[in-house]
Amino acid sequence: MKAVIRRLCRLEERAAPPEVVEPSWVAVMRERQRRRAEAEGRPYVEPVREPLVVDDPNDWAAVMRACRARRAAESQRAEAQQ
């Protein structure tokens, strides 16, 4: 029985088409942002993400506060540049 299963597996490897690797949703979203910026005539700058520094990564409230603080700092920097 094992020989039959092994033979079937070999035949499937030859006959089956290779699996298609789908891009991650992050890559898809970045590509959409890049295309939208190009269509509007704006330069696309890849965002640089610094890792969050949180004492306890299992404390979701602290993680959310750190993310909100980072977004607030980014928006203040953007306003200061304008």
For residue 3, give both structure tokens. Answer: 């020989």
Percent of the chain with pLDDT over 90: 22
Owner of token pair 């409230």? 61
For residue 11, give both structure tokens. Answer: 């035949």
Residue 17 has pLDDT above 90, yes or no: no
Q: How high is the pLDDT of residue 32?
A: 93
Alpha-carbon distance 75 to 64, whole Å? 17
pLDDT digits (tens, 9 = 90+) for 28-59: 888 999 999 999 999 888 877 777 777 887 88
**CA dihedral for 54, 57, 68, 71, sign (positive or negative):** positive
Alpha-carbon distance 73 to 50, whole Å? 13
**CA dihedral for 27, 32, 38, 43, sign (positive or negative):** negative
Per domain, the residue ranges of the chain are: 23-81
